[in-house]
Amino acid sequence: MFEKTLTDLIRGIRAHKKDEQKYIASCLQEIHQEVKSNDPDIKAMAISKLTYLQMLGYDMSWVSFHVVEVMSFPKFSHKRTGYLAATQSFRQDTDVLMLTTNLLKKDLASGNHMEVGVALNGLADIVTPDLARDLCQDLVAMLNHSRPYVRKKVVLVLYKLFLKFPEALRLSFPRLKEKLDDPDPSVVSAAVNVICELARKNPKNYLSLAPQLFNLLTNSSNNWMLIKIIKLFGALAPLEPRLAKKLTPQIFHMIENTPAMSLLYECIYTAIAGGMLNSDRQSDALAAVCVSKLRTFLESADQNLKYVGLLALAKILPTHPKHVAEHRDIILKCIDDSDISIRLRSLDLVVGMVNKKNLADIVKRLMSHLLPPSNTKNSATNHLLPSTLLEPAYRADIIHRIIYICSQNAYANVTNFEWYVAVLVDLTYVAGVKVGDLLTSQLMDVCVRVKSVRNYCVKAMVKLLSDVTLLENCSLPDSNAEVLYAAAWLAGEYCSYQINPSDTIEYLLQSGVTKLSHRVQAVYVHNILKIYAYWAKSLTYNWDEDAKDDLLRLTTLIDEKFGTFCSCTDLEVQERAHNVRAIISIVREHLTSNVPAQTDETDDYVLSEKAPTVIDELYNLFFAYELNPVAPKAQKKVPIPAGLDLDAWINEPPPQSESSNSGEEESYGFGYRQKLGGSGDLLFSSGSGTAVGRRRRRKNRQKGDRDKGESEEMRVQRRRERRERMKNDPFYIDVGEYDNPTRTKPESPPKSANNEIDVDSIPVVHLTMDDFDFRQKKNKGKSKRSKENRKKEVSALSSLPPVIYTDIGEMPENATLSDDDKDLKPLDQKVSSWRNPNDKGILDIDFSGISNVDLSTPLTENEKFPQTTVYLSPEELRKREEEKNKLRLKEQRNKSIITSDHPTKVKDDHAKSESKKRRSKVKSKKPSNASESSAVTAKKKSMSVKKMTKGEADAENKAKSVSSPTSGTDKVDENKGSHVNEQSVQPVKQNIYTLISGDTLHITYTLSLTSNEELRNEPPTVVASFLIENKGVSDDHFYSGLALRFEPSSDIQFDSTLLHVDGVLKASERREVAVKFRVLGIVGARLTVNGRVTWENNLHTGGFSASDGSGAEIPFAFEIPVATFMLHIPTITPAQFTAFLYKSENFPFSGSTSVNLTVSSSSVEQEFDNAIAQITAVATGTHVVEKVPGAVSIYGRSVQGYQIAGLTKLGVTKEEAEDTEEVKAVLKIELKCTDQAFIDGLVREIERLFALPS
Amino acid sequence: MRLRKWFQFYNEKQKTNLSTDLSTIILGRKRSMCNVLEYGEHKVIYKRYASLYFAAGVDWDENELYVLEVIHRYVQVLDEYFGNVCELDIIYNFEKAYQVLDELMIGGELQEPSKKAVVRHVLAFERHCELDAVTRNLRQADF
């Protein structure tokens, strides 16, 4: 009695602060010993200590089995310890949980309400789907328990059950509903809690409870429950407008009168969330009261009230922005609160409160959060900056919000775009997180849409390009060097706004550029050429020697620097660079060759030479048209060409359309997508952007130019050929004769002004579907607002330079410019839109099951609780368990003394029902011929030395019926009595198999190992003993020269392949012969012994029926069952078993199978025992370690040293349809082993053992 | 970490991560800050009593003030049960502290709002256990 108590342990840990780990390690070692103790007190104490250590982070999963043991101890204090340990350490996948079913049933049925309470507490935490299914009926029955203490717990535990086993909800809901009228208030409160939780998942099921709940609401004074009821109504009200109306006065009353802040807040929150503040006058008053109450929250010194106040205001904002706006002052104060929770919530509000006037101020405040503390002196309120402000997630959040509030509603709130561009540029530098892509798309979007800002923007972009530090840091993750993508593109596209384009080209050619991402480099390359083209063109207006020298110098520079781009590993960059180089070299050739490009004699201003015309051409290549956004409704306005039926099949769909994700996309039909996707800068990646039109047109034009050389006939010819080729291609949809007119129409590029539109350039043809859908959605509702705003802006804000937007965007030519699109849906304003949708926590639980339960339909007849009749009713079970308990504990203690118990196990089960016998006969694989069955009956009579009951022998038969496909002779052994001593030394019953069973000649055999020791390094040797019996009755029936011949194989090596039976085998005589063989093959795979029986003369000519074969030899084959290799070892104790299992690396392989038994309900447990006996003794050669109701653990070891541990679990479902007592039982067997092949073999054995006749 | 109870299943790694993560964040917060911490899909509501923090993770739509009340109720019950509770009481009697929690809530839902009732139940448990101990001692004395 020197074990440490829990207090000792805790004291010890506190005393060993320095070497805590070491101390705990030594304690754990003691505990390892203690849990194996037979003294319940010591065991419970060990578990209790482990529970404490578990809390400190030490594993206790290895002791789960003992935890269940302690849970099952009769003493309450032990039980409590066990349950606590279980709730703390069990997981859903803990193996032993399935052993707890009956234990829980017993404890739930206990007469002591405290035991019931402990069990309920425990169940709430450890419930699994299996437990929920098995226990739900008991729990529902307990809803009428005499003690309110138990009732309230049951109500709450039921909720946990529903989560795991949603079917139970439908079945038990009527009973649960009754609990709302329970005389005990705590039970009512519990029921409200549960229904509140359920209603949050699927409110419509609970609308019918509204009157009852309303009654509670008006009569109760329990604030705890009132909060829940109100929350519950919050879930119900949106479904039933009348309910909202009815609730409003009540809520109003509570808001005005309750002193409890939590209740007040719940009322306000529910009023908002429940949609009670909508429309009518009464609710508007309510809204006003809510908001004014919330203001007191915000003004309160209590930070919690501030937080919840902001939270509620954010909810009210979408419906009552005006009410909220009144309190802007106090909300803005909260942005600078030192508390991140409050700050984030006030940001929510701010995002919704932004308007034109306060945008700049709010953005400034937000920006100040991003700046390092030293730079924030100007903002006085920002006196302390917690470290959280520097967290990347927070910074990214702020930046997303800034961009969101500025860009929402198509930049409706931005009045000064130069300011906005400046903000974006600033963000590039201060971000400190990776937001480059977002900034890039914003910059491009703004600049393309807003003409007036282009001048400013381009200059800012050039400045960005010239920034060396940005280039240097571009490899850092938070450098936001992606912005250079926008910078380069904008500088190139709008280079007319540049003051000194040649400088820009030099910036673009800085040596650091190669460090940029390839995507950006590609844009660089392309835009260098664009700027170059523009600049060269501008030089031609004042063409002279200097200009020529300048141009030549820059041309040479580009040519030199492009070496690095040309050798870029990225194909896109490389290809573009080569193109540019080629073009540049042409220009240079023209410049240096001194060829007077155009000697225009008539020109009276004599130039020494004129600028090469190639410069003009180069310019025209890029700047023929201005880039404009496509109008949001452009797609809809595209007139459908006459004769085009969009719903008709262009071609009959192929019968089996395969998805084409292969290289077939290269084919003509998909060509557009390919081209656009690859062209990098030609597509906007921005989510808020409009599609861009001009590029497409240019593309087409280029294509047109390229095609110019070919004659129309050639093209038609080529197309025809191609169509012919594609006809049989399943991946290609033949466009047939309906070739899209917009595609085939000869192109005539317009020469004139910006906004002229031709059908060919209608972007719809070029946009990929996914791109388009997205934009269409985003743009819905935008244009209307923006246009209205635009008008107002121009008039109201004349002090600012007028913002010039590009026109509403490009439209197809016969589109009407009207805004009457009725189908425009309002933009779904989700404040959460800036939140990362992938931000899914690990804490997500799947409630889908429970929310799919429908309670509105009445229960049908066949909806009943799953019947688990193998288990008795809890009361009966309790009685029985109490009787058994003492016995079992005693048994458990004595178990280690018993060395070999499985034969006794088998003997325990004597009584056998008649039905079982009948069935097992059917199950055993019997040959169909009549002689065989007559033989069986004959032999039954001859059974003499029987030690087992008939039924048991039947069971044995099943196992022994080893089918042998080669011989076609099925072996059924009935001859239990002929059991004789084998060569094996163990006094253990052996399985006797039949080799040949004829009318006269009958051979059986047994298999055994030569040694009961583990032989790790040599192949196991098996002795096969044959009992040869002549069953003939007359003297004529004799065999002479009888012999067994074996065929050696690579797997099996016989010490002699021939076994002679000396002399003559006379009638009623039996002989024994034995052969040894070594098993070299893999045990577990099918090891088959092949051979034949031969004899020289059989004077009795009519002795064999045709089915026995008429020759002087009979071939045979039998398989060596895996169980043969099992050693006979002493029974291990449960503690050893757990210890083995604990080292899970011992059992890396596992296998499982399940077996169906059909038995009568009265004998389920017996059948279970029988089945276990068969599995252990016959199929696997293992023994039972421990048996608890409904489950058994087994263990065994093989001659090769393999260990087998298993768990067998019984599940029973009653067959409702039949009125017989038949039940279906499913036996689940899970085995773990150290060898894969071995376990496969064992599983196969078990399956064969229970195999039903086919 | 003195006590922790999980009302949903997590694996050990998640438990450890959550515990260490939350304790660093909560300990880093100033007293002037509010008692709500936004933590992924959940909110953590905590409250400090002397040197002990009590924290509870709840859904986003849970009433924060209600949760604070529940925490407060737990502390009240502990106080009543131990008589001016201190950290050591909880360390040395962690089983009892769990018992109190179990009597106050089941599966994360409040089951008994009445302080007195909770204490009464827990005391009844204790008496029952003591009875066990007495009979055990008697049996040992018999030997």
Q: What is the 3-state secondary structure (H, E, C) of A701-756?
A: HHHHHHHCCCCHHHHHHHHHHHHHHHCCCCCCCCCHHHCCHHHHCCCCCCCCCCCC
What is the rounded (10 degree) CA torsion for A813, A817, A823, A825?
110
pLDDT value at position A417? 87
Chain A residue with minimal CA distance to B46? A304
Chain B residue with minimal CA distance to A91? B9
| pLDDT one-digit tens code per residue, A304-330 | 888 888 888 888 888 887 888 888 888
Q: Do A156 and B107 touch (CB under 8 A)?
A: yes
Token readout for B116 is 């007195």
Any A CB within 8 A of B42 CB:
yes
| pLDDT one-digit tens code per residue, A823-877 | 444 434 333 333 443 443 333 445 556 666 666 666 666 666 665 444 444 445 4
Indicate whether B21 pLDDT > 70.
yes
Any B CB within 8 A of A315 CB:
no
pLDDT value at position A372? 64
Q: B33 in a domain, yes or no?
A: yes
Nearest CB among B91, B92, B113 relative to A222 is that of: B113
Question: Residue A86 and residue A97: Cα distance in Å, rounded?
Answer: 9
Nearest CB among B5, B16, B98 relative to A57 is that of: B16
Question: Residue A324 and residue A272: Cα distance in Å, rounded?
Answer: 13
Token readout for B70 is 């529940």
H or E segment to which residue A1044 belongs: strand A1043-1047
pLDDT value at position A886? 59
pLDDT value at position A594? 58
Nearest CB among A112, A157, A844 relative to B107 is that of: A157
Q: Do B64 and A152 touch (CB under 8 A)?
A: no
Any A CB within 8 A of B77 CB:
no
Indicate whether A216 pLDDT > 80.
yes
Three-state secondary-structure class, residue A366: helix
**Average pLDDT over every residue of A789-806:** 49
Q: B5 in a domain, yes or no?
A: no
Percent of chain A with pLDDT over 90: 1
Question: Residue A902 and residue A908: Cα distance in Å, rounded?
Answer: 10
Nearest C-alpha neighbor of A324 from the set A352, A285, A283, A286? A352
Any B CB within 8 A of A832 CB:
no
Distance from CA of A92 to the nearest CA of B (A): 7
H or E segment to which residue A694 belongs: helix A694-707
| pLDDT one-digit tens code per residue, A445-495 | 888 888 888 889 988 888 888 888 888 777 777 777 888 888 888 888 888
H or E segment to which residue A1231 belongs: strand A1222-1233
Three-state secondary-structure class, residue B98: helix
**Average pLDDT over every residue of A638-667:** 63
Distance from CA of A114 to the nearest CA of B (A): 7
3-state DSSP percent of chain A in helix, strand and coil, to 5: 55, 10, 35
Q: B31 in a domain, yes or no?
A: yes
Nearest CB among A7, A193, A303 relative to B33 is that of: A303
Q: Do B111 and A307 touch (CB under 8 A)?
A: no
Q: Which residue has the higher pLDDT, A612 or A828?
A: A612
Any B CB within 8 A of A217 CB:
no
Q: B80 in a domain, yes or no?
A: yes
Question: Residue A1075 and residue A1026: Cα distance in Å, rounded?
Answer: 8
Q: Which of A396-400, A925-929, A1136-1140, B14-18 has the lowest mean pLDDT?
A: A925-929
Q: B56 in a domain, yes or no?
A: yes
| pLDDT one-digit tens code per residue, A488-502 | 888 888 888 888 888
Confidence grade of residue A1026 (pLDDT, cut at 50, 70, 90): confident
Percent of chain A with pLDDT over 70: 66
- Across chain A, mean pLDDT equals 71
Distance from CA of B108 to the nearest CA of A (A): 9
Indicate whether A760 pLDDT > 50.
no
Q: Do B106 and A124 touch (CB under 8 A)?
A: yes
| pLDDT one-digit tens code per residue, A1183-1219 | 887 777 677 888 888 887 777 888 777 776 655 444 5
> Which parts of chain B are beta strand (E)?
36-39, 42-49, 52-58, 105-106, 109-110
Q: B75 in a domain, yes or no?
A: yes
Q: Which residue has the higher pLDDT, A62 or A912?
A: A62
pLDDT value at position A906? 40
Q: Do A80 and B129 touch (CB under 8 A)?
A: yes
pLDDT value at position A1213? 61
| pLDDT one-digit tens code per residue, A776-789 | 444 444 444 444 44
**Average pLDDT over every residue of A181-201:** 88
Indicate whether A63 pLDDT > 70.
yes
pLDDT value at position A703? 45
The total domain count for chain B is 1
Read out DSSP for A422-484?
Answer: HHHHHHHHH--SS-HHHHHHHHHHHHHHBGGGHHHHHHHHHHHHH-HHHHHGGGSTTS-TTHH
H or E segment to which residue A905 belongs: helix A902-908
Residue type, B54: F
Alpha helices by DSSP H, A751-781: 769-779
Which of A332-341, A377-386, A897-906 has the largest mean confidence?
Answer: A332-341
| pLDDT one-digit tens code per residue, A1100-1148 | 544 444 344 445 778 888 888 887 888 878 777 777 777 676 665 567 7
A contacts of B139 (beta carbons < 8 Å): none
Q: Measuring CA to CA, how many Å separate A6 from each of A27, A31, A994, B103?
A: 11, 11, 61, 22
Nearest C-alpha neighbor of A401 from the set A428, A362, A373? A362
What does residue A1001 show for φ and ψ, rounded to 5 degrees? -85, 125
Distance from CA of A190 to the nearest CA of B (A): 6
Q: Which of B7, B8, B19, B34 best probes binding to A when mutated, by most A CB atoms within 10 angstroms?
A: B34
Q: B25 in a domain, yes or no?
A: yes
Indicate whether A624 pLDDT > 80.
no
Indicate the burial class of A1148 (C-beta count within 10 angstroms; 0-12, 13-18, 19 or more): exposed
Nearest CB among A55, A80, A224 relative to B4 is that of: A55
| Residue with the two structure tokens 């404490």 | A52
A contacts of B91 (beta carbons < 8 Å): 10, 14
Domain that holds residue B120: 12-142
Q: What is the CATH number of the domain that holds B119?
A: 3.30.450.60
**Average pLDDT over every residue of A245-272:** 86
**CB half-sphere exposure, A705, CA atoms < 13 A:** 7
pLDDT value at position A113? 86
pLDDT value at position A891? 62
**8 A C-beta contact, residue A1160 and residue A915:** yes
H or E segment to which residue A1196 belongs: strand A1191-1197
Chain B residue with minimal CA distance to A338? B33
Confidence grade of residue A377 (pLDDT, cut at 50, 70, 90): very low
Indicate whether A210 pLDDT > 80.
yes
Residue type, A344: L
Any B CB within 8 A of A564 CB:
no
Question: Residue A242 and residue A539: Cα distance in Å, rounded?
Answer: 77
Any B CB within 8 A of A344 CB:
yes
Distance from CA of A761 to the nearest CA of B (A): 47
Distance from CA of A186 to the nearest CA of B (A): 6
Question: Residue A607 and residue A1141: Cα distance in Å, rounded?
Answer: 99
Token readout for A1181 is 């050669």
Indicate whether A24 pLDDT > 50.
yes
pLDDT value at position A707? 46
Q: B4 in a domain, yes or no?
A: no
Confidence grade of residue A279 (pLDDT, cut at 50, 70, 90): low
Indicate whether A732 pLDDT > 60.
no
What is the rounded (10 degree) CA torsion for A431, A437, A443, A445?
-140
pLDDT value at position A129? 87
Q: Do A843 and B40 touch (CB under 8 A)?
A: yes
Any B CB within 8 A of A60 CB:
no
Q: Which of A90-104, A160-174, A842-856, A984-998 has the lowest mean pLDDT?
A: A842-856
Order of strands, sheet of A1070-1079, starting from the edge strand that comes earlier in the sequence? A992-997, A1001-1009, A1021-1030, A1070-1079, A1052-1054
pLDDT value at position A808? 55
Q: Do A843 and B41 touch (CB under 8 A)?
A: yes
**Average pLDDT over every residue of A1066-1084:** 80
